[in-house]
Amino acid sequence: MTQVKGGNTMLLGSVEAGGTKFVCAVGNEDYRIQDTTQFPTTTPKETLQKTIDYFKQFPDLKAISVASFGPIEIRHNSPKYGYITDTPKPGWSNVDFVGTLKQAFDLPIYWTTDVNGSAYGEYVLSTLFNQKINSLVYYTIGTGVGAGAVIDGKFVGEIGHTEMGHIRLKRHAADLDFKGICPFHGDCLEGLVAGPTFEARTGKKGKDVPLTDPVWDIMAYYVAQAALDTTLMFRPAKIIFGGGVVSEAFLKKVRAQFKDLLNDYVEVGDLDQYIVMPLAKNNGSATVGNFALALKTYLN
């Protein structure tokens, strides 16, 4: 049994449901983590049971927010609301995630995508850091690519969640022969810049490809296009890039290419403040977002 410090504060639950691992945490209304655990994503039955067992340790829990890998059903008027739908991950298609938690807990449960959770966390942190912004878009570039958009505290997406990782891009002249690795679309954004593209292009893992290698310029060209299209379609206050592929040195390249592509067409302010790494360190954005969404759900 895990002891929680400061027993008088409100306890909120966070589930980051990733395709590789689950990270569960409890925290307070000030978004601080009080306790956390993680375990590999195995079968739905086993993994959801571990999730339930973890939160059962905290009888004072007020609400839980889940930021899940997808695709997921987020429309409240759908009979499949709360489900993971047609995922390529074996065994996880058509799994009633929220329903399973609801059977174990008589608590409000918030349900959104992993990237929406992260986007919301960055939105909340921006306010805490005294940045007066009302909109942002958060991209993660790792094993896959996804993004979430928050405008005025709400997620963008009416008939389902966004899937910005799969937009199409102008191909780089030096990369025309690369077919891309997305099983659905070939050379969409994910197919061109997800982590595994390093092995597909160079035979080496991304971490073993020095930043001086021209493949990084090709990557930056595509990520800059994603930032450009995001700018033209949302005019958000900032665009955040997180995930294993992203570093500050890489974003420097992205900003330079973005500047060329935009050609001063619209104003975005200081580029160093506009295209940025997450405020939360160690991929912690989603946990903060979950605490904030759990709190919001509890208060409504």
Q: Which residues in 43-72 contact a copy of itself (CB under 8 A)?
A: 71
Site membership for a copy of itself, residue 270 (CB under 8 A): no
User: Is position 81 an interface residue for a copy of itself (rule: CB under 8 A)?
Assistant: no
Pattern 112-151, a copy of itself, x by CB under 8 A: ---------------------xxx-------------x-x
Which listed residue (269, 270, 281, 300) binds a copy of itself by CB under 8 A? 269
**Touching a copy of itself, residues 197-236 (CB under 8 A):** 225, 228-230, 232-236
Part of the chain binding a copy of itself (CB under 8 A), chosen from 153-161, 205-213, 240-248, 251-259: 153-161
Q: Is 177 in the site for a copy of itself (CB under 8 A)?
A: no
Question: How many residues make contact with a copy of itself (CB under 8 A)?
Answer: 44
Cβ closest to a copy of itself, residue 81 vs residue 105: 81
Three-class DSSP labels, 167-228: CECCCCHHHCCCCCCECCCECEHHHHHCCCHHHHHHCCCHHHCCCCCHHHHHHHHHHHHHHH
Nearer to a copy of itself, 162 or 290 (CB): 162
Distance CA 42, CA 48 (A): 9
How far is residue 37's CA from residue 35's CA, in Å, rounded to a whole number? 7
> Does residue number 168 form part of the binding site for a copy of itself (CB under 8 A)?
yes
How far, CA to CA in Å, does 287 sit from each of 7, 53, 71? 20, 19, 20
Write down the least CB distance from residue 219 to a copy of itself, Å.
16
Residue 153 tokens, joined: 């505290």
Strand partners, 150: 136, 155
Among 1, 7, 59, 152, binds a copy of itself (CB under 8 A): 152
The string of DSSP letters for 49-87 reads HHHHHHHHT-TTEEEEEEEE-SSB---TTSTTTTEE-S-
- Which one, of 2, 9, 120, 24, lies nearest residue 62 by Cα? 9
Per CB under 8 A, does 248 bind a copy of itself? no
Q: Is residue 196 at the binding interface for a copy of itself, with CB under 8 A as the rule? A: no
Candidates 109, 156, 246, 292; binder of a copy of itself (CB under 8 A) is 156
Q: What is the spatial distance between Cα 280 and Cα 129, in angstroms, rounded to a whole number?
A: 11
Count of positions (residues) in the chain: 300
Query: Starting at the edge strand that comes first in sequence, how are the strands of the sheet with 61-68 ordered?
Result: 33-40, 21-27, 11-17, 61-68, 109-113
Q: Select the residue interacting with a copy of itself from 33, 52, 200, 261 (CB under 8 A).
A: 261
Position 174 contacts a copy of itself (CB under 8 A): no
DSSP β-bridge partners for residue 14: 25, 65
Residues that bind a copy of itself (CB under 8 A): 71, 133-135, 149, 151-152, 154, 156-171, 184-185, 187, 225, 228-230, 232-237, 261, 263, 265-269
